[in-house]
Structure 1
Amino acid sequence: MSISELSPIAAVRVTHGASRDPRVRRTREKIFRAVETLVARQCEDISVTDIVHEARVSKTSFYTHFASLDELAVQIVGDAYEHLGPDAEVSVERDSFENVRMRYRALVEHYVQLRPFYVAVVALHLSRAVHTNVVRAMAADIEPLITAHPGLPAGLRPELAASFIASAVVGFLDEWIEDDFEATPEELLEHLMALLPQWYTGVRDLTA
């Protein structure tokens, strides 16, 4: 959908999201920091009222930037994920088991460090928009590697492979965040590496 097809307020939100206006950026930054502060205080059932009170902005200002808590959480999670993309200096030809392991170790450490925030996001009873947008962000990051991967099976579409891997990884970590199972960070990493496709990690099937 193009910006011209959006409702007036939705178009404003899109414009604000990409704006370099210092006033717009300051307001958004206040909202983001307010969420971080509330999470650090281990507040439960965080609401728009809580956020605007902490940020010292009006509800009108909040809804000018974000349609809902869902939309705010999608933005926060997306921003948090940006720095977890694959290292551009690592060539695909050298994308060994250890290089894949290094990237997923960084991902696991990120989730471990920010687990209180992600637990709070889950507690907001959000829609699947957060999960879907994180999966899409991860898939977009790994698709170029998969496209040029020397081990990519013939006939396998890279965009579908990237979507499958991203969905599996994010779903696995979501289950951990929701306390559906106990695991140390190292156990999370080891299980992820064992569950990822062998052609992707570079591990040969030793049973073959």
Structure 2
Amino acid sequence: MYNNEESYIDKRIVRTKSKIKKTFLLLLQQKPYNKLTITEIVNQSKISRVTFYNHFDSKEELLIEIIDDVMKDLVISYRKPYENLNLFTVNDIKPSMLMLFEHVYKYSDFYSTVTNSDILIELQNRMIDELKNLALKDFSMINSNIDRVIYAEWYAYAIYGIILEWIKKGYSHSPKYMAEQLLDLVKSIPKKRVERKGMVRYS
């Protein structure tokens, strides 16, 4: 009985937080983040201030958690092509294996809203950090004079730029097309062998 009650409470918390997050993004489409108030979020969500503060200390914490949720899925989607592989090259990857653009499209409401808001810089910084860390943690350059940190920074900004322009253009191309283009871009770069630490080689 206790477990059932606990499960019910957990689901209720998830539902309430989800409602608050959706309301926040809806309001962000209507006015700048720095002018949004907790009172507006509470009223639009049809909850009490007590309920809001039971889940979030501030609207800043709310924003951070929303971005955290999306970035967790971004990392999972990015790693999909090679998570179960011991060895591969770029030529082994098919567009259907690249889930990064599928991720962005799945969260298109979030990305479009934030891109057109005054908090784009928060998303930009977090997204570039995640992409840079993935490049640094998952791969290492072999037989190359390229500085790994500089490579990771270049890579992160390049991917972010492609995604940002895609969003700004209203997702004018399909995720599959974008994946094909990204693969063609990567393959057009002079090849350097890259190794995923401990398990994968990538060229």
Same fold (TM over 0.5): yes
Partner of 2:185: 195
Are 1:34 and 2:27 counterparts? no
Partner amino acid, structure 2, of 1:167: Y
Partner amino acid, structure 1, of 2:156: A
Where in structure 2 are the equivalents of 1:94-113 lying within 5 Å? 94-99=88-93, 101=95, 103=97, 105-113=98-106
- Secondary structure, aligned partner of 1:67: helix
Moved more, 54-63 or 186-195: 54-63
Moved more, 94-103 or 120-129: 94-103
Per the alignment, do residues 51 and 32 of structure 1 end up closer, same or farther by CA in structure 2, a change over 3 Å counting? farther
Larger relative CO (CA 8 A, sep 6+): 1 or 2? 2
Q: Is the 8 A contact 2:23 2:41 kept in 1?
A: no
Partner of 1:44: 29
Aligned equivalents of 1:166, 1:55: Cα separation in 2: 40
Number of aligned pairs?
175
Are 1:76 and 2:61 counterparts? no
Report the CA distance between 1:168 and its aligned residue.
1.0
Q: Is the 8 A contact 1:108 1:189 kept in 2?
A: yes
Report the CA distance between 1:137 and its aligned residue.
1.1
- Residue segments in structure 2 that go unaligned for 5+ positions in a row: 1-8, 195-201
Aligned equivalents of 1:139, 1:100: Cα separation in 2: 22
Q: 173, 180, 186: which is aligned to 2:176? A: 186
Partner of 2:125: 132
Q: Is the 8 A contact 1:70 1:130 kept in 2?
A: no
- How many percent identity over aligned positions? 14
Aligned equivalents of 2:46, 2:147: Cα separation in 1: 45
Partner of 1:5: none
Per the alignment, do residues 79 and 176 of structure 1 end up closer, same or farther by CA in structure 2, a change over 3 Å counting? same
Aligned equivalents of 1:135, 1:62: Cα separation in 2: 28
Q: 149, 155, 165: which is aligned to 2:145? A: 155
- Residue segments in structure 1 that go unaligned for 5+ positions in a row: 1-22, 203-208
Aligned equivalents of 1:123, 1:113: Cα separation in 2: 17
Q: Is the 8 A contact 2:42 2:48 kept in 1?
A: yes
Q: Is the 8 A contact 2:127 2:160 kept in 1?
A: yes
Q: Is the 8 A contact 1:135 1:167 kept in 2?
A: yes
Q: Please identify runs of 4+ aligned residues in structure 1 that moved more than 6 A.
A: 23-26
Aligned equivalents of 1:123, 1:130: Cα separation in 2: 11
Partner of 1:114: 107
Report the CA distance between 1:63 and its aligned residue.
5.6
Report the CA distance between 1:26 and its aligned residue.
7.3
State TM-score, norm by structure 2. 0.64
Report the CA distance between 1:110 and its aligned residue.
1.2
Aligned equivalents of 1:184, 1:153: Cα separation in 2: 36
Q: Is the 8 A contact 2:21 2:66 kept in 1?
A: no
RMSD: 3.7
